[in-house]
Amino acid sequence: MNKIAFLGLGRMGLPMARRLESTGHTLTVWNRSAARTTGFAEVAASPAEAVRDADLVITMLADPAAVEAVVAGFADELPPGAVWIDMSSVGPAAVAEVTRRFPPGTVVVDAPVMGSVGPAGSGGLTVLAGGHPADLDRVTPVLETLGRVVRCGGPGSGAALKLVLISAVIAGVAVVGEALALADSLGLPEDLVLRTLAAGPLGGAVTRATTRDADFPVRLATKDLTLAAGGPVLTAVRDLLADHPELADHDLARVVDAIRTGTDGNG
């Protein structure tokens, strides 16, 4: 059985780690805030302590700077033959840069996820895995505990696809907000507009824009669009999110209300 070190117990990391432990995996956890480690059988005081004797090291962190800092704390302690699986949303460039910290021969898999807090705890995520085929074979049984594994290609491809998919989702929510604002100006009822939008190509975006069960903070959506560095549409949406600092810790769906009311982010 794999011994897993799980580093990062944030909004997504905590339910993912609990899912792994509840399905029989041997887990050692670490988190910058020790309060979130309550209830786990094995808790480490540092990243270096967490990875000692681990077969797999999973990081689930907020941004490239956090990944860089945490990896710097354990790279020299990683046991020979261990696998680092980064499930953070940091993009392929950051994964490649951090990989240089490891000794030659260290196995690296990038496996960011699509999904929110509920699926994270129930094994319902979509795991976007990038790496060499033999390496993916080795880690897939563990990743399948967390959800459906999509093999994206070689190293960095999972991180790359995550940026593409999440950018489309974020922009889609903004488009729904704009469509509803237009409908408001034309006097159309919300239920009619949402029902007919949902029946067409924007169905998924409507579902995401109207959900009240997700927990994807606007600040992380802004971070993802910044990493994507897209064209004029994605740049405009990124700027829109940045203009609403009051929503930074609220779910992305709240942006729809801001667009409809025309608030400028200053109160």
Alpha helices in 2-156 (DSSP H): 13-22, 47-51, 64-74, 91-99, 117-122, 133-146
Kindly list the distances between the CA atom of residue 34 and the CA atoms of 9, 12, 31, 157, in Å, as whole numbers in the listed order.
Answer: 9, 16, 6, 33
Q: Give the Cα separation of 78 and 72 in Å (integer).
A: 11
Closest CA to 224 of 30, 84, 94: 94
Do residues 113 and 87 lie in contact, with contact meaning Cβ atoms separated by under 8 Å?
yes
The structure tokens 């600092």 sit at: 245
* 162 classed as catalytic: yes
- Catalytic-labelled residue, pool 25, 162, 208, 223: 162
Alpha-carbon distance of 30 to 76, in angstroms, equals: 17
Specify whether the CB–CB gap between 166 and 188 falls below 8 A: no
H helix or E strand, kind and range, residue 149 = strand 147-153
Q: How far apart are CA 37 and CA 164, in angstroms?
A: 32
Give dist(CA 3, CA 84) in Å, integer: 12
Q: List the catalytic residues.
A: 162
